Amino acid sequence: MEKGYIHVYTGNGKGKTTAAFGLALRAAMAGKKVYIGQFVKGMAYSETKCSDYIAGIEIEQYGTTCYIDRNPDEEDVQRARRGLEKCKSILASGAFDVVVLDEIFIAVCFKLLKDDEVLEALKGKAEPVEVVLTGRYASEALIEAADLVTEMREIKHYYTQGVLSREGIDC
What CATH code would you report for 6-161? 3.40.50.300
Rounded-to-integer distance, Cα 29 and Cα 15, Å: 21
Give the model confidence (pLDDT) of 87-139 as tens digits: 999 999 999 999 999 999 999 999 999 999 999 999 999 999 999 999 999 99
Model pTM? 0.93
Radius of gyration of the chain (CA): 15
Q: Is the pLDDT of residue 43 over 90?
A: no
Q: What beta strand segments (E) does 16-159 contain?
A: 34-38, 57-61, 98-102, 130-134, 148-151
Give the model confidence (pLDDT) of 119-129 as tens digits: 999 999 999 99
- Give residue 26's pLDDT: 97
- Give residue 44's pLDDT: 75
